[in-house]
């Protein structure tokens, strides 16, 4: 049986992506065959499609680290034919054929049931980015963060993780300061719930100093580099920063131990890829209920697989904002 998929191949002109045919036999071994209805666009998808060997080792390959759809074949595990499921993270779309194909075949432990209150399309408006944002918020709340403690900074606020974090934190009553270098996004960020906007340049001031005036009660950082360094320097006593991204840099070259030993701050690492699926299920339940963000405001647009190559270029250049949902086989 053949099906349609986005296929990335290495050519004489570099890595190119096109929609073509694949066979079910091409899919890896796994417990569950899922017919994909919707997927989403993430930075890692664009890295895979551009031939980044740190993400995908061999080509041809079908990217797509997110997928939502219906079980077509099930083994002896917890799922039955017809169940609506979500798959995010693990090896999907990296070295395992991903969500930009009509079908995926994966281990049962990679799948979470689609929670009541979310459609497959809703789940992919959120995707890995929404799941990661929820994990960042949970990490901060677990340290004891309360709205009355003051402002919470979200860096990279126009991106997928950042925009969802702004919406969740605002809905929970926090005063959110959204960091962005995109002036045309200010109104949109305020509509998402940001109480104030701060520019990237302002966040880089005083990078040469070991500590800065305390301001932030908490931080959701999606960019890394010097912006994260200065955010740590500006945390209130005992405050925490949840770190989940590196779009600016993976390095903390200008960091010192002073914020940690003088103010007792915390740097919290957040991973949504290898997280046990039962934890992901808990987060999906929150995203479908008490922590549900404003999906209509988060979505920037809906695209087809044929439009994805242009989207890859945009997201790598930092020109996209919000979430892009990908129509596969609804």
What tens digit of pLDDT does each residue of 6-32 get? 999 999 989 999 999 999 999 998 889
Match 């066979």 to its residue by tokens: 23
In this structure, are 77 and 168 located in the same domain? no
Q: What is the pLDDT along the chain (330 residues), one digit of tens a residue?
A: 899 999 999 999 899 999 999 999 999 988 899 999 999 999 999 999 999 999 999 999 999 999 999 999 998 889 999 999 999 999 999 999 999 999 999 999 999 999 999 999 999 999 999 999 999 999 999 999 999 999 999 999 999 999 999 999 999 999 999 999 888 999 999 999 999 999 989 999 999 999 999 999 999 999 999 999 999 999 999 999 999 999 889 999 999 999 999 999 999 999 999 999 999 999 999 999 999 999 999 988 999 999 999 999 999 988 888 899 999 988
Residue 274 belongs to some domain of the structure: no
In this structure, are 22 and 91 located in the same domain? yes
Domain that holds residue 165: 127-269
- What's the CA gap between 216 and 131, in Å, rounded? 23
Tokens matching residue 31: 């417990």
Residue 282 belongs to some domain of the structure: no
Q: What is the pLDDT of residues 30-50, one digit of tens each?
A: 889 999 999 999 999 999 999
Query: DSSP class of residue 96?
Result: B
On the CB side of 308, how many CA atoms lie within 13 Å of its CA? 32
* Number of structural domains in the chain: 2
Whole-structure pTM value: 0.94
In this structure, are 156 and 263 located in the same domain? yes
In this structure, are 101 and 222 located in the same domain? no
CA torsion sign for 94, 100, 105, 110 is positive
């Amino acid at each position: 049986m053949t099906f349609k998929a986005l296929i990335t191949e290495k050519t004489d002109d570099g890595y190119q992506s096109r929609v073509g045919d694949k066979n079910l036999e091409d899919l890896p071994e796994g417990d569950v065959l899922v017919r994909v209805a919707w997927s989403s666009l993430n930075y890692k998808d664009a890295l895979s499609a551009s031939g980044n060997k740190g993400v995908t080792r061999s080509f041809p390959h079908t990217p797509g680290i997110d997928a939502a759809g219906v079980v077509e074949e099930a083994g002896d595990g917890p799922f039955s034919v017809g169940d609506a499921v979500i798959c995010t993270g693990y090896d999907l779309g990296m070295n395992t054929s991903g969500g930009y194909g009509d079908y995926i075949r994966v281990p049962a432990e990679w799948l979470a049931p689609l929670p009541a209150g979310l459609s497959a399309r809703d789940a992919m408006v959120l995707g890995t980015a929404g799941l990661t944002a929820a994990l960042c918020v949970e990490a901060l709340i677990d340290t004891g963060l309360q709205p009355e403690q003051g402002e919470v900074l979200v860096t990279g606020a126009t991106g997928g993780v950042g925009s969802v974090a702004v919406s969740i934190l605002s809905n929970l009553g926090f005063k959110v300061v959204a960091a962005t270098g995109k002036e045309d996004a200010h109104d949109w960020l305020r509509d998402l719930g940001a109480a104030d906007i701060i520019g990237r340049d302002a966040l880089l001031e005083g990078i040469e100093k070991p500590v800065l005036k305390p301001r932030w009660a908490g931080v959701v950082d999606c960019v890394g580099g010097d912006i994260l360094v200065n955010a740590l320097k500006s945390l209130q006593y005992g405050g925490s920063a949840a770190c989940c991204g590196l779009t600016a840099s993976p390095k903390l070259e200008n960091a010192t131990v002073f914020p940690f030993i003088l103010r007792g701050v915390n740097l919290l690492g957040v991973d949504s890829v290898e997280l046990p699926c039962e934890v992901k299920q808990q987060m999906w339940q929150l995203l479908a209920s008490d922590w549900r963000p404003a999906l209509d405001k988060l979505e920037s647009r809906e695209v087809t697989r044929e439009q994805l190559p242009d989207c890859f270029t945009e997201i790598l250049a930092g020109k996209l904002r919000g979430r892009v949902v990908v129509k596969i086989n609804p």
